[in-house]
Structure 1
Amino acid sequence: MQYHTSHRQSLLKTAILWITFSIVPLALSAQNYKLNNGEGEVMVTGTSTLHDWEEVAEQKSGSITLDNTGDLPKINTLKFTVEAESLKSGKGAMDKNTYKALETKKHKQIVFELKSVKSISPVTSTSNKYKVVATGDLTIAGSTNVIELPFNLTLNNGTVLLEGKKALKMTDFNVDPPKALLGTITTGDDIEIHYNTVWK
């Protein structure tokens, strides 16, 4: 009886050790990085009948999980969020019209969430910079579309840099381009999102 008990305990310890060592390499291979709000920039640019305009996101957050064990980094997860009312143009009236168009009382955030990576390739054979084309769900003002997002990914001493730009139409997300001065100034439907973000 004593032998059977000790033998069973020995088998149990062996099984636990085997499971632990099987899981550890998986945990070590994937690294999670958080977006640093204090560095980098996310900016939206557009046009109007009066002048071109730009708005900068003052509050942004997100996370990315990378597996660096292969020849090319593998992006397992990517989620990026901008607080809608943190978009600032430096002009209060314009910001107010933007928040109204985005219905920020109901829809507090603009969110991109990765679905898949279509392609990833090194910029040069010796660099740690890669060209990526990803697809994901982009949600603006409560409407979600699948978009293709191109960007450069750079790995640098525990830091990840993501930079790129993406053209969009407001009406694709059921957003009416903002108007001002009783409709005499109209914002163009086409906008462009420029981003240069730092993840640690």
Structure 2
Amino acid sequence: MYFKKIITTSILMLFMAGTVLAQDVTLNIQGQPQMHIDGEANVRSWDAAVEQVEGTLVMAEVEEMMPENLSADLFKEMTLTIPVESIQSGSGGLTKNIHKYLNADDHPNITFTLNEVNEISVEDESAIITASGVVNANGVDSDVTLQVTASMNADGSINFQGEQELLMTSFDIDPPTAIFGTVRARDEMIISYNVNFN
């Protein structure tokens, strides 16, 4: 009876220890993220800065957060939210048009939701992460595949940076025209980002 008690207690302790080790960790965007939108028109290029990004990353706990320790199953959830009104350009007219075409009144936020991390490879001191997710803008969902470079900062936070091409038409936005159609924006946009989570 005594040995049975010891075995039961030992199994219980192992189970509880496993539960503690398996706890998830929630990270939030730290500091001022850098995000930029670049586009082209037939006469000149255009650009805008994203001045506000909110985000949450949920990961399984790992003993030491290093690029070589990252694996796809560690990434549980990730969401990013960008208020449309926080997108600003050097031109008041362009800023107003961006907000208008993104239908800011009815759809005030652009969001990204992670679906799955597909692959991780380590290069030097960084991890190259290939993942799939959904971007919602103008109230429309668009599936995306992205490649992100992840590295560890000295303070223990994780840095993600990369570039992502998006099409306006993927979000039911017709590329803008002006001056009776003589100025035409191209469909493609490049979103560049540099974000820290802690």
Return the TM-score normalized by structure 2: 0.82
- 1:25 equivalent in structure 2: 21
When residues 182 and 100 of structure 1 are mapped into structure 2, their CA distance, relative to the original with a 3 A threshold, is: farther
Q: Distance in 2 between matches of 1:16 and 1:43?
A: 51
Equivalence map 1:1-200=2 (5 Å): 20-27=16-23, 30-36=24-30, 38-67=31-60, 68-69=62-63, 72-73=69-70, 74-124=74-124, 127=125, 129-156=126-153, 157-181=155-179, 183-200=181-198
Alpha-carbon distance, 1:112 to partner:
0.8
The 4+ residue runs of structure 1 with deviation greater than 6 A are 13-19
Q: CA RMSD for the aligned pairs?
A: 2.3
> Could you list the runs of 5+ residues in structure 1 that have no partner in the other structure?
1-12
Alpha-carbon distance, 1:41 to partner:
0.6
1:13-38: CA deviation from partner (whole Å, max 9, x where unpaired): 999977654422222xx3221012x4
Q: State whether residues 97 and 180 of structure 1, in contact with CA within 8 Å, keep that contact through their aligned partners in structure 2.
A: no
Equivalent residue letter for 2:140: S
Alpha-carbon distance, 1:184 to partner:
4.1
- 1:8 equivalent in structure 2: none
1:107-139: CA deviation from partner (whole Å, max 9, x where unpaired): 111111011111011113xx2x20000001111
Q: Secondary structure at the match of 1:97?
A: helix
Q: Secondary structure at the match of 1:152?
A: strand
Alpha-carbon distance, 1:85 to partner:
1.4
Return the TM-score normalized by structure 1: 0.81
Q: Secondary structure at the match of 1:35?
A: strand
> Could you list the runs of 5+ residues in structure 2 that have no partner in the other structure?
1-8
Q: Distance in 2 between matches of 1:89 and 1:183?
A: 22
Equivalent residue letter for 1:34: N
